[in-house]
């Protein structure tokens, strides 16, 4: 195989030029227009909230929590290299609700499980997000009977609903990307403010 070599033309982003400019800046040798253009090229201006939201949306840590068959699908979506959820910063599963940002309700919610899920949700720190994955968590799906809660939004606020039985990995990833868009758009951080639920706090007797 014949190999031809050609010289790569030095661009503005050439590492050696940038290193040289940094040296000159530190020595105080850059002046005038050169200094202005160098400082302009090295700065990124943004709002603090935007930067914060950007950081948050790219590190949504899900809680290690599964309810039924959708959980298997969720595990393959999060854990497998084929789907590779770490592209979206959501692959670090935390098994403590104190460290998790996102609760993926993957499976049917029985009336016996609902208070437990609510307690786990209350233990998570703000800002926290909920994805209702699959038909069962969203509406009891095909198990629309005496044993299940028809829709997890009856007892906790849900941010994104992903339909499907179970949803394909692409669908769940799309739901997570929708959640990222939502985080980036800067909603209220507390869920009560976000869903206008102020005043619904239930004080226990010893606190009241």
Partner 1 sequence: MPDATGLELAAQRVRDVLDDDAVVGTSYHHELATLEVAPARVHDVLEHLRDHDEESYGFLASLHGCDYLPSEPRLGVHYQLLSMQRRERLGVKTRVGVDDPVVPSVTDLFPTADFQEREVYDFFGVVFDGHPDMRRILMPEDYEGHPQRRDFPMGGEPVLFTFNEHKLPRWYD
Query: Does 144 sit near partner 1 (CB under 8 A)?
Result: yes
For partner 1, the closer of residues 127 and 151 by Cβ is 151
For partner 1, the closer of residues 72 and 111 by Cβ is 111
Query: Within 10 A of 13 (CB to CB), how many other CB atoms are there?
Result: 8
Size of residue set near partner 1 by CB under 8 A: 10
In the complex, the smallest distance separating the C-beta of residue 151 from partner 1, rounded to whole angstroms, is 8
166 upstream amide cis, omega within 30 of 0: yes
Among 4, 6, 11, 145, binds partner 1 (CB under 8 A): 145
**Which has the closest alpha carbon to 101: 140, 53, 68?**
53
In order of 83, 115, 118, 129, 137, the CA distances from 191 in angstroms are 29, 18, 13, 8, 19
Query: Does 95 sit near partner 1 (CB under 8 A)?
Result: no
Looking at the DSSP assignment, which residues form a beta bridge with residue 4? none
For helices 69-79 and 169-184, angle between their N-to-C axes, nearest 10 degrees: 70
127 upstream amide cis, omega within 30 of 0: yes
Tokens (6 digits) for 132? 């209702």
For partner 1, the closer of residues 147 and 165 by Cβ is 147
Query: Does 146 sit near partner 1 (CB under 8 A)?
Result: yes
x/- string (CB under 8 A) for partner 1, residues 148-177?
A: x-x---------------------------
Among 55, 147, 165, 197, binds partner 1 (CB under 8 A): 147
Query: Does 111 sit near partner 1 (CB under 8 A)?
Result: yes
CB within 8 A of 125, min separation 6: which ones? 98
Query: Does 196 sit near partner 1 (CB under 8 A)?
Result: no
Binding-site ranges for partner 1 (CB under 8 A) = 111-112, 139-140, 144-148, 150
């Amino acid at each position: 195989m014949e190999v031809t070599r050609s010289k790569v033309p030095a661009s503005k982003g050439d590492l050696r030029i940038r290193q040289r400019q940094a040296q000159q800046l530190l020595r105080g040798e850059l002046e005038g227009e050169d200094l202005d253009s160098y400082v302009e090229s090295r700065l990124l201006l943004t709002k603090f909230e935007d930067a914060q939201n950007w950081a948050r949306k790219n590190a949504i840590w899900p809680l290690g929590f599964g309810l039924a068959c959708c959980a298997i699908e969720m595990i393959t979506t999060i854990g497998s290299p084929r789907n590779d959820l770490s592209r979206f910063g959501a692959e670090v599963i935390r098994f403590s609700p104190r460290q998790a940002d996102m609760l993926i309700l993957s499976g049917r919610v029985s009336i016996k499980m609902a208070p437990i899920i609510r307690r786990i949700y209350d233990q998570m720190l703000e800002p926290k997000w909920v994805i209702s994955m699959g038909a069962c968590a969203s509406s009891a799906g095909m198990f629309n009977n005496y044993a299940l809660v028809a829709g997890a939004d009856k007892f906790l606020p849900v941010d994104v609903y992903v339909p499907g039985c179970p949803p394909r990995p692409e669908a769940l990833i799309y739901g997570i990307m929708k959640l990222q868009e939502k985080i980036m758009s800067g909603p209220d951080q507390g869920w009560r403010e976000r869903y206008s639920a102020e005043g619904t706090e239930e004080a226990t007797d010893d606190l009241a």
